[in-house]
Structure 1
Amino acid sequence: MTLHFFSKKIIFIAVFMSLAACLQVFADHFIYWRPALLQEFWRLWTAHWVHVGWVHYLLNILAFACLPFIFPRVKTWHFFSLLLLLPPAISFSFYVLFPHIEAYAGLSGVLHGAYMAVAVVHLLDAQERRFAALVLLLILAKLLWENTFGSKETAELIGSPVLVEAHLLGVIWGAGLAIVYLIYTYSLKK
């Protein structure tokens, strides 16, 4: 790993952190707000880049900043692609599957999807297989815990209910994007 390799990832993380912090200042204009979603299309993305408060922001940004270093062989453009593809997929899923959800803000659904996507792809890498399987197991255990016992402590910490549907949708979309990516890369090798 070269210094250039890490500097690209650090710059990517810093740019995203800065963007999310700037949006946070005017969060009401960027959250998922169902009545305005189809007229203000940017909310499809920005809802996942803003948070219900600064503690929520810091927790999600910390988890986001760890991902490129937990899986260091993943290219920066993969993370960038996930930040562009997962938010509208999750937002449209809210809109269609969960019409009772009026408002949402947070990166956690995208984080679950990104961790899932990267781990699924790394299952095919002999050097990373065990670690990727562990990450997948932890994600699934977390989903099971949240849907069985809830996330009361996290909700108290961030000052808002945790929308576990976002985590589940993120995992589903992340796995789907990983499978599409693997099929595409496999077809290029033929």
Structure 2
Amino acid sequence: MNRSRAWLVVCCVHGVASMLLWWAQAGAVEALTWRADHWAERPWTLWTSAWVHLNTPHLIGNQLALGALTAFAWVIRPSLRCAMAWLTAWPLTQFTLLLWPQIGYAVGLSGLLHAGAMVLAVQLMFKRIPIRKARRWGALLALGVLTKILLERGWQYPVVWDRANDMSVVQAAHVSGVAWGLLLGLLVALWPGWSADGGSGGLG
């Protein structure tokens, strides 16, 4: 398996774009926000809405989570195929929110971060990333993500009010991200061409 810096580049793009958009004018932010009633007129919002954040705690929370995912990827160095799976999950995570009519709009990186975590978890469990005890780390990561999803029950409560941060949380985005991360992660892991042991090399 060939390791790649693509995943790290994607993380940097998300981090920088989120910060730049935070300082953008309200008109620009609105043009980049995904809304269920007219997203088809602005299809780019399937991507750009992930960079929009409602308030400072929302931005900081997602930036911290992105930093953790970036640090983890720095250690395990996922392949280009992993990065492509994550990129594919990007618009699909947003598009799937149409399944919940209660959701009028959705912004932020959280759904996409759930997708990325699940992609990495699957790759580790299938030993497609050559690190020591890969399956154990993958199982722990998957367990953590799935436990969070089960506790939230985002399919039943797609939008909840977060009093602490004074904002609505679209929990359905977490469900959507995990679902696409799992599906695309499996597709990448089972794609023809992988060696039986997931490639040569490893980390101590």
TM-score by length of 1: 0.81
Q: Which runs of 5+ in 2 are unaligned?
A: 196-204
Which of the residues 138, 147, 150 maps onto 2:144?
138
Q: 1:107 to 1:122 in 2, by over 3 A?
A: same
Measured in 2, the distance between the counterparts of 1:51 and 1:84 equals 20
1:129 corresponds in structure 2 to 135
Write out aligned runs for 1:175-186 (5 A): 175-184=182-191
Letter in 1 for 2:149: L
Q: 1:85 to 1:33 in 2, by over 3 A?
A: same
Which of the residues 66, 69, 90 maps onto 2:68?
66
1:50 corresponds in structure 2 to 52
Is contact 1:45-1:84 (8 Å) kept? no
Shifted more, 152-161 versus 132-141: the winner is 152-161
2:88 corresponds in structure 1 to 85
Measured in 1, the distance between the counterparts of 2:59 and 2:30 equals 14
Is contact 1:52-1:158 (8 Å) kept? no
Q: 1:27 to 1:183 in 2, by over 3 A?
A: same
Q: CA deviation at 1:178?
A: 0.3
Q: 1:23 to 1:70 in 2, by over 3 A?
A: same
Letter in 2 for 1:99: P
Is contact 2:121-2:139 (8 Å) kept? yes
Identity of aligned residues (%): 26
Larger helix proportion of the pair: 1
Q: Which runs of 5+ in 1 are unaligned?
A: none
SS of structure 2 residue aligned to 1:38: helix
Question: RMSD value over aligned CA atoms?
Answer: 2.9
Q: CA deviation at 1:182?
A: 1.1
Measured in 1, the distance between the counterparts of 2:172 and 2:33 equals 16
Q: CA deviation at 1:103?
A: 0.8
